Structure 1
Amino acid sequence: MENILLWLFSASALGSVCSLPVRQYHFIYDPKNWTEAQSYCRQRYTDLVTVDSLNMVTMLNGMADVRSIFKAGRCLDVAVSRSVRQAWIGLYFDVISWRWSLSDGGFYRADGNYRYWSAGEPNSAWYTVDCTHMYDNGYWNDAPCQWLYGFICANTSGQTAKFFYISTSMNWTDAQSYCRLHYTDLASVRSLQENEQIRTARPAGLTVWIGLYKDTWKWSNGNLFLFSYWASGEPQGGVENCTVANFRLSGQWEDWPCGLEKTFVCYHDTEPFTRHTVKVKLVGNSALGLNDPAILENLLKELQQKLQDQAVKAEIRLSWKNQPDGKIFYTEKQN
């Protein structure tokens, strides 16, 4: 069989298929506080779940075993009836602060103090995430990050910056990604002089995004909090800094003290892989029944061991591919 194996490694690849990461979701019905739930998800999966769309809400509603959530909650808190169909998600409250997109601690400080707000601004609710756009007169306003505007990118070098107007309308996060890909980042402002440079960099009369945003609620995996699905009267704030999805209310969110024990939802991103189809030619003992399942299984084990012996670092899974007639191998005709 050794001769057969040597010929297998000399085979040529016919093609390959790349697979994107697949996201899986796991409801954990063993109640924990929010911090314990986060650690559990990070150790066994990827993180606590991020809920960023109505489609995600609908999917989780369909997956939730409300009876199991109810049983877990009743064991912990018989008196609080509305808590027994809730599960922690990855949203938590951090601080209310305005931050620059570019915060490298050098060119722009994370706590850069320069502001040029219009009168009465910013005026958004304490619990919302908002982003900053510049009016035609150079003053700033806070607005929902989903709104679409042109924007100003910056290239930085040492202590200098050059500003570039991008006319394509995007939401703030897409504009940030664009600037980070093609320049340094969205424009941040250190002085009235730089503010004027940005104002004159775009055509007159247009409103543009700049790099200032309000940091409040955050997702455990670091995603910016844009989509929200709060229940009526929520969030309440105070000491209620962590978020549950209430499946008695179709998955709407409520903020609760992080120390309470509740069921929770994790997600897991599987690693992407490449699938190769390889044509192999075996030369060896013709008496071997190469379509015998036991022999095929042994061949796979031998090949897997060969790869390990050669210190192949990637995780490789081998399997046979059936021919149209259901067989793996066929006898090659001789000329």
Structure 2
Amino acid sequence: MEKVLLFFTAASALTAVSSLPARSFYFVYEPKNWTEAQSYCREKYTDLATIESMEDVDILDNMKDLSQMVYPSDSYRAWFGLYDDVSSWRWSMSDSDFYQHDEKEFRNWRPGQPDNYQGNESCSAMYSDGSWTDVGCSYSTRSVCFDVKGPNSTFVLVNTYMNWTEAQSYCREHHTDLASVRNEAENQKVKELIPSTGINWIGLYRDTWKWSDGSSSSFRYWRGLEPNDNMEHCAAIYFQDSGRWEDWNCDKKNAFICQNGFSQKVVKLKLINTSSVDLNDPQVLENLLKQLKQKLKDQGVDGDIRLSWKKQSDGNIFMKNTEDIGSDRDVP
């Protein structure tokens, strides 16, 4: 049988995950740091808790036992599964055919950078000396786009002042993307292009808060002025403020909340069929599920993985997309 070439976007994994047992939460009052708590939850349960809604917040608020959560400095706080992945810098253009493995790791940070000042710097820019810094993404400045043809790229300075997201959109509309700088030679090309003052956006950005179990939930319930960083990269619930969240030093000892089981998740899958294979053929669908299951295992997903397809209103699984799938980019 002919093969189907799969292209995954950042959010793409499968069309449907079959229904599994609902999640249950478990408080553990033995104080541990965040990493110790994560290891404990993964050994005894499934993982540190993912909080997906105000309903979850209310459940945890009703479950807590404050009499068991009084410690010398960290009273009434409990770890859960949210953490700040400070190392997760990635390029706006993430086409694996364009990069070599060593090129993805090239960085030219200015000494002391990135520092995520005040917990609000998730985009990168280049100084006139070619060094990089992390900057708040809402800052307005010039940017560097690039045009890609095969393995080659041409850099273009854009003098219009925009924030990082606006610059990304502009570059994708008028060029290929915000500039990826893959090695020292390309860094020198951009350095020679930019003005002698100010900073200039490039395409590197940072994924910020993530869930320990890999969930994509965007629900947040921070206290006022949180997260405020100060080298605090793990999230804790503060039960004396209606269960709102704080970023906290991961080495602190707190109670923590584990979870067991998973909720049902439905996610869209995009793929490119480079052959004459009928994607709605039952045998093809079965083979694709096997490939997807193996893909998840290769990415470190453990446990009982159950996958199934969700049908469209016409009875088919896939429908033809006339848009240019190759133009779909990862965005922060």
Structure exhibiting the larger radius of gyration computed from Cα positions: 1
Q: TM-score, normalised by structure 1?
A: 0.47
Which structure has the highest strand share of the two?
1
TM-score (norm 2): 0.47
